[in-house]
Structure 1
Amino acid sequence: MIRILPILLILLCVACTGKKEVKAPNILIINVDDLGWKDVGFMGSQYYETPNIDELAGQGMIFTNGYASASNCAPSRACLMTGQWTPRHGVYTVTPSARGKSEDRKLIPTKNTHTLAAKHKILPEVLQENGYTTCHAGTWHLSDNPLEYGFDINIGGAHNGLPKSYYPPYKNVAIEKGKTEYLTDLIVEKALNFIDTVQKPFYLNYAPYAVHVPIMPVDSIVPKYEKKSPWQGQENAEYASMVDNLDRNIGLIIGKLKERGLYDNTLIVFTSDNGGLYGITKQKPLRAGKGSYYEGGIREPFFFVFNKKIKPGTKSAVPITNLDIFPTVLKYAQVGSQSLQLDGKNLAAVLEERQTTMERPLFWHFPVYLQAYNIHDNETRDSLFRTRPGSVVRKGDWKLHYYFEDDGMELYNLSKDIGEKNNLVTAHPEKANELLELLKKWWEETNAPIPTELNPEYKTEL
């Protein structure tokens, strides 16, 4: 028995040595700028053509109730990067918070945080500390330099939320010249070079400036869309050329992953930072667009792909937000999150179809003003603002809007009224009060600022 023991130990060591090591997955987050819920084929558009995105969506799980955690660029991106609700990081809008005419604003809005505080432990920092090479490509919008926030490589990212031009000289986008000139083509060119040369597990935050204004078309693509019939408010051929070009570039990224044998071990997340720009594109039957907290401003095309874990061709109606990306990525990267304060949820059980529901309220907080860009064509609460100060909560099928200026409330059952046309506050006061109590509790838990100071220059009664 004593002689057998060493042999068993040797065999055990050999078995342990021969055990195949689980390689950390690569992470690709595609966070498009201003792409609306129905600006892609897989969500039903019959005007825009997005074959590469559609094919990719079919390789994973599509969320039909996917949301951004804010209705405009900077706060949405801050939420994704921190995994936290807006009151925790204080980025509510693009500076300043007092947008629109002062005489139309009843309240003094909450002061906005322009630069994300360095105290926040954000996704690229956590991945970088756990052996990942991290690369940002495109819109950053949260500070002057993403390299100070956990990225090893920066391709064109800075504090600006949009380029002054998609054609050189780009003016406010610092990026080295390449073989291509159109800005999103140049960004993807350099992102492809990163994928081609990176040796360690990587995180690529691909956030092309497209399809944000200025609307600068890809001239060779425009004629295709000029020949197409309008579809439910989608008819801008120049904007469509930008969507088409975006699709091409995403196809190039996926092709490069496959070429290098990386695709099967890459977790891919696709979403948009906020709703489509109403007037340039529409998301029928959703109401309004970017800057609004109606569904058209916050509901997004949203899917996850990971060949090793997520079954192709699946869909989920579970309501999620981009806050859920952070903890989900950490789960698949096998990185602990116990020391982090994350407001999102790990979606792995839903993605792997071990769970079909996730009961929780979702919150949005916007204690500032965002003016309308077209007072003659909008679907917002009033024609002067896309959003006045307020909060929103969704629980189950029910969604409550609450406004700080007048304590106004709007209640909708999204399962029956996705277009938010029928305010049910009077018909269902008990449901409105239930959701309002959830909001009040959440305000307290997150120390959410509630604007109450009256603006002495206010002249217009609601």
Structure 2
Amino acid sequence: MKKIVLSLILTLLGIRITTAQTLPKTTKTRPNIVLIVADDLGFGDVGFNGQQLIKTPNIDRLASQGMKFSQFYAGTSVCAPSRSALISGLHTGHTYIRGNKGVQPEGQEPIADSVLTVAEVLKKAGYITGAFGKWGLGPVGSEGDPNKQGFDQFFGYNCQTLAHRYYPNHLWNNAEKIVLEANENLVKNKIYAPDLIQNKALDFIESQRNGKPFFLFLPYILPHAELIVPEDSIFQYYKGKFAEKPFKGHDYGPKATVGGYASQEYPHAAFAAMVTRLDWYVGQVVAKLKEKGLDKNTIIVFSSDNGPHVEGGADPSFFKSSGKFKGVKRDLYEGGIREPFIVTWPNVIKPNSKSDHIGAFWDLLPTFAELGGVSIPKGIDGISFASLLTGKGKQRQHNYLYWEFHEQGGKQAIRQGKWKAIRLNAIDNPDGPVELYDLEKDPSEAQDLANQYPEKAKELGDLIKRSHRPSALFPFYRTTK
């Protein structure tokens, strides 16, 4: 462990229906798939997208080895519905889970058994499946349990509320509750859960011996608030580098709240260390794949579930976490939903390639299905971008992308080509005005062009409303007109 951390610090200081016919001739077997999804990592939090203050050498190396996407989007701007869009291939006007809705005693509203998930699609194709990190789509034993949604193995936080704490008193290994006695009652903070989860993920890779393809889903919780890391060499590297304003939160101890955020004397250093620790995990995954001889036929996808948060003492403006874009988590402006996105596949995807292809989380299911040699499910919103990755065939394009967000009065957004429309306060005013932006000329969404192009604003406003399918579980409009 010490050698790995030392090596890291030295680096920092120095630094619709298709089949397997789409697979390139160089690939003799179906590829393994590793999907890494960070939590609340902004577009600008990584070096390859311009980050200057935080070191991400492993993620940047991954970007240099594959294809970097400049216009790829999350499912929406908060955790559960964004992940629901990812695993179901449906945008948030259609997907089953459309908001963060907790249930007792622990967990979130379960995604329905009727939903066909990416893990189920790949499992039927013969893939071994595992998920390690944060779930948030259904309690243990419910129909949304990851073991009932296509994953052979799950280890981590079932409940995203408990994932606010990095030193929790328990995690889940499938249906087994793993009590972390050293962290009992949130009094002691001995076991840093992300490190434990990472070790289990590496064990999953280590266990792949029978030649069957595998799908490894890594929904990491870093760098989600709270701002806390082990006080090791990674944290020490950043400590003292930035001006700091201490954050006073709800500390560990007898009065600790489950979903609270701990105090942090060095919030900037802690956030930077969390991002670098995430980068370290990515490096470990790549190294383990190489060690096992699995790297040559493994696709690695790296992204984030939504834009950067502002809770718990986080300061996205200081780090320019959203890059040049406006907005943060819970916004449908670009900063809330446009994400860092990388795909690598040795000998298939050309190193240092770049793409301005417009895609979103719901495209991953059909893409993985096609690359896994199985028919793409009908009735989904996603479009496979396997042709783009392999260079085989003409890549289909979306007519539009749609998002909705059920908090803060209700927000909806749509992108069609260069145009982006956003409707605020949609719950009470479903036919209200929209803001209109030309993302080619104005990616920062600084100039609302709705008055200048009223016909386009009306066209996209009408399309926004048609893109939402009512949900009894997650009702959106309070009134109808």
Q: Same fold, TM exceeding 0.5?
A: yes
- Highest CA radius of gyration, 1 or 2? 1
Which of the numbers 417, 420, 427 marks the counterpart of 2:442?
A: 417
Which of the numbers 288, 292, 295 marks the counterpart of 1:256?
A: 288
Aligned residue type for 2:452: A
Aligned length: 399
Instruction: Identify which range, 246-255 or 404-413, moves more after superposition.
Output: 404-413
Q: Distance in 2 between matches of 1:172 and 1:291?
A: 28
SS of match in other structure, 1:421: coil
Compute the displacement of 1:176 (Å). Answer: 7.2
Compute the displacement of 1:82 (Å). Answer: 0.5
For 1:426-441, list aligned pairs within 5 A: 426-441=451-466
Compute the displacement of 1:437 (Å). Answer: 3.1
For the Cα contact (< 8 Å) 1:73–1:161, is it kept in 2?
Answer: no
For the Cα contact (< 8 Å) 2:81–2:99, is it kept in 1?
Answer: yes
For 1:285-434, list aligned pairs within 5 A: 285-337=324-376, 339-353=377-391, 355=394, 358-366=397-405, 368-369=406-407, 387-403=408-424, 404=426, 405-406=428-429, 407-434=432-459
Aligned residue type for 2:45: D
SS of match in other structure, 1:209: coil
For the Cα contact (< 8 Å) 1:160–1:172, is it kept in 2?
Answer: no
Compute the displacement of 1:452 (Å). Answer: 3.1
Is residue 2:158 matched to residue 1:126? no
Q: Distance in 2 between matches of 1:138 and 1:260?
A: 22
> Paired residue for 2:158?
158
Instruction: Identify which range, 300-309 or 81-90, moves more after superposition.
Output: 81-90
> Paired residue for 1:280?
315
Compute the displacement of 1:132 (Å). Answer: 1.1
SS of match in other structure, 1:194: helix
Q: Provide the TM-score with structure 2 as the length reference.
A: 0.76
For the Cα contact (< 8 Å) 1:164–1:172, is it kept in 2?
Answer: no
> Paired residue for 1:78?
84
Q: Distance in 2 between matches of 1:128 and 1:356?
A: 26
> Paired residue for 2:236?
223
Is residue 2:216 matched to residue 1:204? yes
Which of the numbers 236, 256, 274 marks the counterpart of 2:268?
A: 236
Q: Distance in 1 between matches of 2:382 and 2:159?
A: 25
After superposition, give the CA deviation of every residue in 1:337-393 in whole Å (9 maximum; x if it has no partner): 1x4322111102222346578352111123x22xxxxxxxxxxxxxxxxx4213211
Q: Which runs of 5+ in 2 are unaligned?
A: 1-24, 140-144, 182-189, 244-265
SS of match in other structure, 1:88: coil
Q: 1:424 to 1:131 in 2, by over 3 A?
A: same
Q: Provide the TM-score with structure 1 as the length reference.
A: 0.79
Which of the numbers 188, 194, 202 marks the counterpart of 1:184?
A: 194
Q: 4+ residue runs of structure 1 moved beyond 6 angstroms?
A: 444-448
Q: Distance in 1 between matches of 2:356 and 2:267?
A: 29
Q: Distance in 1 between matches of 2:469 and 2:180?
A: 50
After superposition, give the CA deviation of every residue in 1:274-302 in whole Å (9 maximum; x if it has no partner): 11113532324211201111111101001
Compute the displacement of 1:22 (Å). Answer: 2.7
Aligned residue type for 2:41: L
Instruction: Identify which range, 425-434 or 58-67, moves more after superposition.
Output: 425-434
Q: Distance in 1 between matches of 2:339 and 2:29?
A: 31
Aligned residue type for 2:308: G
> Paired residue for 1:88?
94
Q: Distance in 2 between matches of 1:43 and 1:322?
A: 19
Q: Which runs of 5+ in 1 are unaligned?
A: 1-18, 98-112, 370-386, 455-462
Q: 1:237 to 1:170 in 2, by over 3 A?
A: farther
Q: 1:78 to 1:58 in 2, by over 3 A?
A: same
Two-structure CA RMSD over aligned residues (Å): 2.9
After superposition, give the CA deviation of every residue in 1:228-262 in whole Å (9 maximum; x if it has no partner): 457xxx98111111111111111011000001110
SS of match in other structure, 2:120: helix
Q: Distance in 2 between matches of 1:359 and 1:125?
A: 25
After superposition, give the CA deviation of every residue in 1:398-444 in whole Å (9 maximum; x if it has no partner): 10012323413111111222221211111111221222233244336
Aligned residue type for 2:153: I
For the Cα contact (< 8 Å) 1:162–1:212, is it kept in 2?
Answer: no
Compute the displacement of 1:267 (Å). Answer: 1.2
Aligned residue type for 2:460: L
SS of match in other structure, 2:296: helix
> Paired residue for 1:384?
none
Q: 1:175 to 1:314 in 2, by over 3 A?
A: farther
Q: Distance in 2 between matches of 1:244 and 1:81?
A: 27
Q: Distance in 2 between matches of 1:356 and 1:314?
A: 16
Q: Percent identity?
A: 36
